[in-house]
Amino acid sequence: MAITDAPRGAGRATPNAIESALAQFDRAADHLDLAPETRAILRVPKREWTVNFPVSMDDGHVEVFTGYRVQHNMARGPAKGGIRFHPATDLDEVRALAMWMTWKCALVNVPFGGAKGGVTVDPRKLSQNELQHVTRRFATELQGVIGPEIDIPAPDVGTNAQTMAWIMDTVSMHAGYTVPGVVTGKPVGLGGSEGRADATGRGVMFTAQRALREAGIDMNGATVAVQGFGNVGEAAARLIHEQGGKLVAITDVGGGVANPNGLDPAALKLRLSEHGTIAGAPGTEPIDNAGLLSADVDLLVLAALEGQITANNADAVHARVIAEGANGPVTPDADPILADRGIVSVPDILCNSGGVIVSYFEWVQNLQSFAWPADQVAERLRQVINGAYDEVSAMRQRDGIDARLAAQAIAVARVAEATQIRGRYP
């Protein structure tokens, strides 16, 4: 499991995740001329939980962990969104991530609201046994909060298919029967969908390919830098490489590697599994995050954490196209600086939506007790994400706005419509 600890907006004060999410929402609400009461409803989470729970560690001592689950909106269906294990996770970050999930699900038109969860923990410092106990106890604290018709978690930074298997098993033990639909991103042998593990990276590849094409660049032969080599970055790098993209720089939590003649993602994956980082891989030069973000490349894939490109470093970016594989990697104060310099961004809620699109497919397969083959999953993912890309392009051109505002406005309009049609209870 690789997570990236890149500094968040280091230097001059820049918006944090929740400030960014709210600034983006306000911009979309202004563009849509949203009614004040709808704006007030959508600006805040519907429900949120903070849980503190003890876990017996391997050496016998007891540690108290803090976890969060925020359900931002459920107007269009059950809440949906990942669970993050990261030392810097806090309630405000989870609030922002939950709001972004609401817009993401609405943009790609899957019948879900938005949620997110997190535990403040560095999973790299825990044994598998300790991780399992943290996960099972957190899932127990969320009893009644999560469920196939209420709120469906999935992997995020620092969690993976094994984490989802533990949550599914814990919920099933309490229910007294197997509840596969309570989480997505499970192992395939446990009702997970074919293609889910790669889905976010595959969506990044599809949308980056479209954006490059619009900029007159073929992915085949394009130079590419990737920040992050975890759930999203590794798959994106591999699939972009398969399309002929030339990977010239990649960073992860332990450092970074560069080679102007191209990097081999399979060799780096092996290096990661053996050394816990890609740094120091043979035949590569070291590169740090600042070097990667300012690399002169056709495509920069941001697949780490939020707040990576801010007003402080946007001037240094030299990529032609940015693909936002992470949530919130570019802050609102950086957007106009990048736009002025002619740099095109594929916004996060579009670019990284492949994960939740295939999560939706997994949930549907679980409810139907029927598994789809891998090629069908990949083809349906391609259709849904390309359809969303087309809608964003059409709105961008029609209203003369940037892709982020177009994506947010489409999403907010859908959630606002559902809210208005449902009316108010009581």
Phi-psi region of 4 (alpha: psi -120 to 50; beta: other; left: phi over 0): beta
Residue 406 contacts ligand GLU per CB under 6 A: no
Q: Which stretch binds ligand GLU (CB under 6 A): 39-47, 79-87, 282-290, 332-340?
A: 79-87
Q: Rounded to an integer, what distance in angstroms lies between the CA atom of residue 175 and that of residue 152?
A: 16
Is 116 a residue of the active site? yes
Instruction: Please give the order of strands across the beta sheet that includes 246-252.
Output: 285-286, 255-258, 246-252, 223-227, 299-302, 321-324, 344-346
Q: Rounded to an integer, what distance in angstroms lies between the CA atom of residue 338 and that of residue 62?
A: 48
Residue 355 contacts ligand GLU per CB under 6 A: yes
Binding mask 269-308 for ligand GLU (x = CB under 6 A): ----------------------------------------
Name the catalytic one among 46, 116, 186, 246: 116
Q: Which residue has the tokens 């969860």?
A: 117
Q: What part of residues 144-163 is at the interface with ligand GLU (CB under 6 A)?
A: 154, 156
Give the shortest CB-342-to-ligand GLU separation in angstroms. 28
Q: Rounded to an integer, what distance in angstroms lies between the CA atom of residue 191 and that of residue 189?
A: 6
The dihedral through the CA atoms of 75, 80, 83, 84 has a sign that is negative
Residue 324 near residue 403, CB atoms below 8 Å: no
Please name the residues in contact with 263: beta carbons below 8 A apart, sequence gap of 6 or more: 247, 248, 249, 250, 257, 281, 284
Q: Which stretch binds ligand GLU (CB under 6 A): 6-14, 23-31, 76-84, 219-227?
A: 76-84
> What are the φ and ψ backbone dihedral angles of 270, each rounded to 5 degrees?
-65, -45
Q: Which is nearer to ligand GLU, 71 or 359 (CB)?
A: 359
- Which amino acid, one-letter code, is at 19? E
Q: Which stretch binds ligand GLU (CB under 6 A): 8-16, 38-46, 204-212, 351-359?
A: 351-359
Residues binding ligand GLU: number (CB under 6 A):
11
Residue 359 contacts ligand GLU per CB under 6 A: yes
**C-alpha torsion 185→187→193→197, nearest 10:** 60
Residue 388 near residue 15, CB atoms below 8 Å: no
Choose among 151, 126, 134, 186: nearest CA to 70. Answer: 151
Residue from 330, 356, 401, 416 binding ligand GLU (CB under 6 A): 356
Residue 327 contacts ligand GLU per CB under 6 A: yes
Residue from 82, 113, 181, 256 binding ligand GLU (CB under 6 A): 82
Give the shortest CB-167-to-ligand GLU separation in angstroms. 12
Residue 72 contacts ligand GLU per CB under 6 A: no
Q: What part of residues 223-262 is at the interface with ligand GLU (CB under 6 A)?
A: none
Residue 67 contacts ligand GLU per CB under 6 A: no
Residue from 209, 352, 365, 366 binding ligand GLU (CB under 6 A): 352
Active site residues: 116
Q: Interface residues with ligand GLU (CB under 6 A)?
A: 80-82, 154, 156, 184, 327, 352, 355-356, 359
